[in-house]
Structure 1
């Protein structure tokens, strides 16, 4: 089946129950196709011009005033991704991206930290969940972070169409909300992966412990661990003691997956730990993974793994290496599909634009999964690998 035939079948299947009238149904199909096209700037006017509309009014109406359920579209995106990419050993990856904006009218925009530039910018922050497996990866859920200044400003919320029930939620709390939706939907995943901005949050970790969910999340150097002689100590002290032993055998060099430049090889070690005042789920244990750059040994990153007893450390290292896949989704979503190139300002149009982009990205991921696998890549996936056993320190 050609990609054009597959896209038509996908959009028709989703649009028929989503829209009561043929006009928004056709506008939706046109918008998805335009997002997938080679359009330099993917705002409504340029997308409309590419598809052959005289004006952007049909797209603007679809995103703003037309009556349809954007969460139903989100559910369809998830179902499509899982039908083609879902695996029992899949992972969910949490991260946020930013859309730099001008002015103060766009919903959720504020002076806040922007990961794109590493500094404070006037931007919107978008927490996202990616589903990833050996078959591929794509977004399955999204939120718009509403800063406290917005959450408590009724007049501003009203102008942007923010629903009255929306209260202030931190970014980790938004990820918890999305995780709850994935659990309710039956999304099959073995681990949650995230960077230290989420791994440091005790509430997110507690949510996983209470529901016996595995995770492999980066954590900051000052994360408190239970010390051997009582009290607490920061994660960094564990590495200090390992290095003080002076034995190079503590490191094992291995790949945690392939990136754009080939295998992503690091030195790794693993230590069984206890997190201060936070026990793992029954039948689970905490392991601290320490990753060291091969070319710059002073560059070290820490990961906290929450996994069932007896889990091979190679498995959690592989999970740690999956985190970069959401960065690829962010890059492709922005550069190829206009994820943050919208000109909408209100709550509902924002969610509709972003979720439609998620559908376009999911389509690309599924089509990529149907391509023949390179023989060398397939052989590399099948290689037996030694186990790196966790030890206590």
Structure 2
């Protein structure tokens, strides 16, 4: 089948039960196609112009006033990804992305830390979940972080259409909510991966312990571990102690997977640890992975792994390396598919736009997975060769 035929089949299958009227069904298919096209700015007006609509009204109606359940679409995106990319050795990766906005009307916007710039910005923060396997990777779940300043402001909530049942949740709590949904959906995964912003949260780790879920999470240097001679010590002291004992040969150079610039090679060491106040699940053990940059040996990162006892360290290193897949998805979503180029301000339109962009990304990931093994197209390197082949003409 051609790219165009595959896309038409996908949008037709999903749109059939999702919409009761033909107009939103057609607008949905057009919007997915337009998001995949080479449009410089992917707001509703430019997307409408590209697809041949006289105005943006059809897309605006689809995102705002049309009657359809965006959670059903989210479930369809997940099902599509798992059908084509799913594996018992897959991983779920949690991270948040940001959308810098002007003004204070966009739902959830506030002065808060922005991962795009590394500083406080007026932005929205979106915790996301990527599913990744050896076949490919794509988003399968999403949340919009609602700061406390929004969660407790009834007038603001009302203007933005925030449902009454939505309460303040921290970003790790939102990830727990999404993990709960993935477990209920039967999503096959071996590990949860995330950066230290999530790895430092004891409630997220406890959730995994209680359900015997594996994880490989980056953790901060002050995470408390049970010390060898009693008491506790921060993670950062473990490496200092090993080096003080003269164990210079503790490092082993290994790749943790391919990146956009080639294999990611680091020096690694690992040792069994006990986390203060948090026992692993029955039959599981905690392992501390320490990763050192080859080019800059003072650059060190720590990972806490929770896995079945006896799990080989190379498997944990491979899982740690999968964390970057969600960063690639964030980049692809923004640069190629307009993930954060929306002009919507309310709760429902935000979820609809982001979920439709997730479907477009999933389609690219599945398309990439069907290419020959020696294909050199890589989704995400700007408007790369895969997009050129896949763009509607």
Answer whether TM exceeds 0.5 for this pair.
yes
Instruction: Work out the CA distance in 2 between the residues paired with 1:247 and 1:276.
Output: 25
What SS is found at the alignment partner of 1:75?
Answer: helix
Instruction: Work out the CA distance in 2 between the residues paired with 1:284 and 1:235.
Output: 20
Instruction: Work out the CA distance in 1 between the residues paired with 2:264 and 2:372.
Output: 23
CA apart distance, 1:249: 1.9
2:132 aligned with 1:132, yes or no? Answer: yes
Alignment of 1:99-110 (within 5 A): 99-110=99-110
Corresponding residue number in structure 1 for 2:179: 179
Corresponding residue number in structure 2 for 1:245: 245
CA apart distance, 1:30: 0.3
Instruction: Work out the CA distance in 2 between the residues paired with 1:375 and 1:18.
Output: 35
Instruction: Work out the CA distance in 1 between the residues paired with 2:314 and 2:370.
Output: 28
Corresponding residue number in structure 2 for 1:384: none
2:79 aligned with 1:76, yes or no? Answer: no
Corresponding residue number in structure 2 for 1:118: 118
Corresponding residue number in structure 1 for 2:382: none
2:366 aligned with 1:366, yes or no? Answer: yes
Count of residue pairs brought into register by the alignment:
376
Instruction: Work out the CA distance in 2 between the residues paired with 1:342 and 1:315.
Output: 39
* 1:375–1:161 Cα change, 3 Å: closer
Instruction: Work out the CA distance in 1 between the residues paired with 2:68 and 2:272.
Output: 50
CA apart distance, 1:79: 0.1
2:190 aligned with 1:190, yes or no? Answer: yes
What SS is found at the alignment partner of 1:336?
Answer: helix
Corresponding residue number in structure 2 for 1:159: 159
Corresponding residue number in structure 2 for 1:332: 332
What SS is found at the alignment partner of 2:129?
Answer: strand
Corresponding residue number in structure 2 for 1:207: 207
CA apart distance, 1:375: 9.2
CA apart distance, 1:227: 1.0
Instruction: Work out the CA distance in 2 between the residues paired with 1:33 and 1:246.
Output: 59
2:228 aligned with 1:228, yes or no? Answer: yes
Instruction: Work out the CA distance in 1 between the residues paired with 2:241 and 2:250.
Output: 11
TM-score, normalised relative to structure 1:
0.95
2:356 aligned with 1:356, yes or no? Answer: yes
CA apart distance, 1:244: 1.1
What SS is found at the alignment partner of 2:141?
Answer: strand
What SS is found at the alignment partner of 2:117?
Answer: coil
What SS is found at the alignment partner of 2:278?
Answer: coil
Instruction: Work out the CA distance in 1 between the residues paired with 2:218 and 2:345.
Output: 34
Segments of 5+ residues of structure 2 without an aligned counterpart are: 377-393
TM-score, normalised relative to structure 2:
0.95
Instruction: Work out the CA distance in 2 between the residues paired with 1:313 and 1:242.
Output: 18
Instruction: Work out the CA distance in 1 between the residues paired with 2:141 and 2:128.
Output: 6
2:39 aligned with 1:39, yes or no? Answer: yes
Corresponding residue number in structure 2 for 1:301: 301
CA apart distance, 1:228: 1.5
What SS is found at the alignment partner of 1:233?
Answer: strand
2:9 aligned with 1:9, yes or no? Answer: yes
Instruction: Work out the CA distance in 2 between the residues paired with 1:183 and 1:243.
Output: 41
Corresponding residue number in structure 2 for 1:381: none
Corresponding residue number in structure 2 for 1:142: 142
Instruction: Work out the CA distance in 2 between the residues paired with 1:238 and 1:296.
Output: 19
Instruction: Work out the CA distance in 1 between the residues paired with 2:327 and 2:364.
Output: 16
CA apart distance, 1:246: 2.1
Instruction: Work out the CA distance in 2 between the residues paired with 1:55 and 1:375.
Output: 39
What SS is found at the alignment partner of 1:40?
Answer: coil
Q: Judge which range, 228-237 or 96-105, deviates more.
A: 228-237
Corresponding residue number in structure 2 for 1:254: 254
Instruction: Work out the CA distance in 1 between the residues paired with 2:287 and 2:354.
Output: 36
CA displacement 1:133-191 (0-9 Å, x = unmatched): 00000000000000000000000000000000000000000000000000000000000
